[in-house]
């Protein structure tokens, strides 16, 4: 029995097909989010990879910022519950999840079954989100995927004091014009994000284990900065970017089997 989970974010679309609620048989990440062809491509490619047809899917759950716009799913669930479930599947010992998405950041406390107990989200400002990193990578003229490894070379992270994305942009430009090395600026940017997110995450405590979820977790510079700010190890799974979609597919399986029992 197959279930389908799709996470339509603001900057990327992630799709997962799950067999019997346990085995990921296909997963795809497309770097285009809601309002683009990203969700359609993610769906098409994941079915191609799984070599099954959409008719073989028993239940579909959509999550993410663009969840309201998806018309074929059986149900839509918030990304909060989906990331909780997804990370529990990938890293069962985790009780605190930090997810930095394209335009929001959230901290989740979960139980031993991957259920959401409590959560905190960022305020209306874009500081401490994936969008902040996108903007900064563009100014540094560095590919977003290279920002993490670049910052790891730094021995003297630059101080980025502004939390406002627009002001931080000016601050970074001024550091560039002062010939501060790129790796130090990149490390400063990661520290700035980590400070902002850790400040929010610590409101719900840091019950171990702590993990990061979402695409930003692939940035090793942010993960290390988060570890310093949280003063604890932060786990990251290679499939962290797909955690929301995995959670959606698991919840789809749980819903379907529950309905069947009834």
Partner 1 sequence: MIENGTTQVNAAAAPAQKPKRPKPKSMQMLNEQTTALFENARLAKERGEKVGWSASIFPQEIAETLRLNVLYPENHSAGIAARHQADPFLQECEGPLGYSNDLCAYAKVNLAYASVLNNESEVELPDGGKMVKPDFLLLTNNICNQLTKWYENLAYQMNIPIFFIDTCYNPCDYVTETRVRYVRAQIDQLIKDLCAFTGKTWDDKHFKEVMKISQRNSYLWERANNLMDHKPAPLSGFELFNYMSAMVCNRGKTSSTAVLEQLNQEIEEHIKEGNSTYPVKEEYRISWDGIACWPYLRHNLHTLKQYGINMVASSYGKAWAIEYEDLDGMARAYCFASTNGDNATTMISRRMEALKKFDCEGTIYHVNRSCKVMDCQMMEVQRQISAQAGIPFTSFDGDQADYRNYSEAQFETRIQGLVEVMKQNKEAKMNG
Determine the Cα–Cα distance for residues 14 and 37; give it in Å rounded to an integer: 12
CA distances from 245 to 7, 10, 27, 138, 152 (A): 5, 14, 9, 28, 29
Stretch that binds partner 1, among 43-51, 72-80, 128-136, 146-154 (CB under 8 A): 72-80
Backbone angles phi, psi at 237, to 5 degrees: -100, 145
Question: Contact with partner 1 (CB under 8 A): which of 2, 39, 79, 242?
Answer: 79
Buried-state track 212-229, b at ≥16 Cβ within 10 A, e below 16: bbbbbbbbebbbbbbbeb
In the three-class reduction of DSSP (H, G, I as helix; E, B as strand; rest coil), residue 88 is classed as: helix
The nearest distance, CB 83 to partner 1, in angstroms, is 10
Question: Contact with partner 1 (CB under 8 A): which of 99, 104, 171, 191?
Answer: 104
Question: Contact with partner 1 (CB under 8 A): which of 123, 143, 146, 152?
Answer: 123
Q: How many CA atoms lie within 13 A of 12 on its CB side?
A: 20
Q: Is 115 in the site for partner 1 (CB under 8 A)?
A: yes
Determine the Cα–Cα distance for residues 138 and 183; give it in Å rounded to an integer: 14
Question: Contact with partner 1 (CB under 8 A): which of 55, 203, 238, 261?
Answer: 203
Alpha carbon 111 to chain centroid distance? 19
In the three-class reduction of DSSP (H, G, I as helix; E, B as strand; rest coil), residue 167 is classed as: helix
Question: Contact with partner 1 (CB under 8 A): which of 105, 116, 186, 211?
Answer: 116
Name which of 119 and 253 has its Cβ closer to partner 1: 119
For the chain, give the longest Cα–Cα distance. 67
The nearest distance, CB 68 to partner 1, in angstroms, is 8
Name which of 29 and 108 has its Cβ closer to partner 1: 108
The nearest distance, CB 73 to partner 1, in angstroms, is 14
Question: Contact with partner 1 (CB under 8 A): which of 2, 47, 59, 65?
Answer: 65
Say if strands 23-30 and 57-63 run parallel, antiparallel, or are unpaired.
Answer: unpaired
Question: Contact with partner 1 (CB under 8 A): which of 37, 68, 164, 232?
Answer: 68
Residues at the contact surface with partner 1, assessed by CB under 8 A: 65, 68, 77-81, 104, 115-121, 123-124, 203
């Amino acid at each position: 029995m197959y279930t389908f989970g799709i996470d339509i974010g603001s900057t990327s679309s992630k799709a997962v097909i799950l067999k019997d609620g346990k085995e990921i048989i296909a997963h795809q990440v497309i770097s285009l989010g809601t309002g683009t062809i990203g969700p359609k491509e993610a769906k098409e490619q994941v079915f191609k990879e799984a070599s099954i047809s959409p008719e073989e899917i028993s239940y579909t759950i959509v999550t993410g910022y663009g969840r309201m716009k998806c018309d074929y799913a059986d149900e839509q669930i918030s990304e909060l519950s989906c990331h909780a479930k997804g990370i529990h599947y990938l890293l069962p010992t985790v009780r605190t999840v930090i997810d930095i998405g394209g335009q929001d950041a959230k901290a989740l406390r979960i139980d031993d079954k991957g259920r959401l107990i409590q959560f905190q989200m960022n305020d209306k400002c874009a500081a401490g989100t994936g969008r902040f990193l996108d903007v900064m990578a563009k100014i540094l003229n560095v590919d977003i995927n290279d920002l993490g490894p670049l910052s790891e070379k730094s021995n003297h992270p630059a101080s980025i004091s502004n939390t406002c994305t627009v002001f931080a942009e000016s601050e970074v430009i001024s550091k560039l014009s002062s010939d501060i090395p790129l790796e130090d600026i990149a490390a400063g940017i990661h520290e700035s994000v980590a400070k902002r997110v850790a400040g929010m995450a610590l409101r719900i405590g840091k019950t171990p284990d702590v993990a990061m979820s979402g695409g930003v977790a692939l940035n090793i510079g942010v993960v290390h900065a988060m570890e310093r700010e949280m003063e604890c190890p932060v786990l990251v799974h290679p499939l962290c970017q797909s955690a929301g979609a995995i959670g959606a597919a698991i919840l789809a399986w749980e819903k379907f089997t529950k309905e069947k029992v009834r």
